[in-house]
C-alpha cells in the first residue's frame, strides 16, 4: 500500500474516507446496568448511542489501525451512554485515545482485576496499556469525540466484558458524575 491521508473533522468526528459502524441502545443493552431502562429506550425509537469511523488499513502486523468515535450525550437509566468495551483479541496490544471534543471517562481493567478510570477532555491523550480492557462513556452534554490509534491486528474480544461487566459504573447522581460499585459484576 502507499502512504495516504484521511481528513478528520475535530468538531463532528467525521473521518474521510472511512467505514462507519453505528451502535444503538439495542446493541449495548446487555452491557447496561439497567436493562429495563434500555428496553424502554429500544421501544421508543432505539436511539443512536455511538458511531465509530475506521480508516481503511489492512488488519495485519506492522500496520496501525485508526478511527474516530463519537458518543452522543444521553443515559440509560442513570448510566451514561457507553461503548460496548473490549479486550483486544490479541491481548498484548496497547492503544491511544486522543480526545477532540466533549467530556467523558475511560474505564480500564487489567487481567489481574486492577481497575482505573481516566477523565477524557479536549486534548487528553489516554494510554491504554497492553492487556487492559477499555470502555468509554460520555458524561457531558455535547458529543464525546476521540481519535483512536491501535495495532491493526489487535481485533476485539467483546464477550468477556459482556459477561463480566466492570467493577465500577459511572452514573449521574444528583446531577453529578458519580462512580459506584457495579452490583451486577460477575467474577469468572
Ligand atoms: C476503539 C473502539 C471504539 C468503539 O476503536 O473500537 O471506540 O468501542 P467498542 O469497540 O468497544 O464498541 C478501540 O478501542 N479499538 O480497539
Ligand atoms: Zn481497543
Reported as a single tens digit per residue, the pLDDT across 90-140 is 999 999 999 999 999 999 999 999 999 999 999 999 999 999 999 999 999
| 97 Cβ contact partners less than 8 Å away, ≥ 6 residues apart | 106, 120, 125, 126, 128, 134, 136, 146, 147, 148
Residue 149 lies in a domain: yes
* CB of 144 shorter than 6 A to ligand 1: no
Q: What pLDDT, in 10s, does the model give residues 24-47? A: 999 999 999 999 999 999 999 999
| pTM, to two decimals | 0.97
Residue 116 lies in a domain: yes
Count structural domains, the chain.
1
Percent of the chain surpassing pLDDT 70: 99
Residue 186 lies in a domain: no
Contact 144, 71 (CB under 8 A): yes
* CATH label of the domain that carries residue 119: 2.60.120.10
* CB of 133 shorter than 6 A to ligand 1: no
Range of the domain at 27: 7-181
Residue 108 lies in a domain: yes
Amino acid at each position: 500500500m502507499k502512504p495516504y491521508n484521511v481528513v478528520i473533522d475535530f468538531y463532528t468526528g467525521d473521518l474521510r474516507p472511512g467505514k462507519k459502524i453505528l451502535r444503538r441502545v439495542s446493541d449495548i443493552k446487555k452491557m447496561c446496568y439497567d436493562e429495563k431502562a434500555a428496553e424502554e429506550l429500544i421501544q421508543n425509537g432505539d436511539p443512536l448511542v455511538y458511531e465509530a469511523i475506521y480508516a481503511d488499513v489492512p488488519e495485519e502486523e506492522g500496520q496501525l489501525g485508526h478511527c474516530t468515535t463519537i458518543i452522543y450525550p444521553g443515559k440509560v437509566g442513570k448510566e451514561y451512554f457507553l461503548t460496548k468495551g473490549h479486550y483486544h483479541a490479541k491481548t498484548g496490544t496497547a492503544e491511544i485515545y486522543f480526545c477532540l471534543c466533549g467530556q467523558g471517562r475511560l474505564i480500564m481493567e487489567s487481567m489481574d482485576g486492577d481497575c482505573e478510570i481516566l477523565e477524557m477532555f479536549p486534548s487528553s491523550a489516554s494510554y491504554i496499556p497492553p492487556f487492559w480492557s477499555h470502555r468509554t462513556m460520555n458524561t457531558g452534554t455535547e458529543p464525546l469525540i476521540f481519535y483512536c490509534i491501535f495495532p491493526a491486528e489487535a481485533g476485539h474480544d467483546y464477550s468477556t466484558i459482556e459477561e463480566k461487566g466492570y467493577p465500577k459504573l459511572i452514573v449521574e447522581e444528583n446531577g453529578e458524575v458519580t462512580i459506584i460499585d457495579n452490583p451486577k459484576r460477575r467474577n469468572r
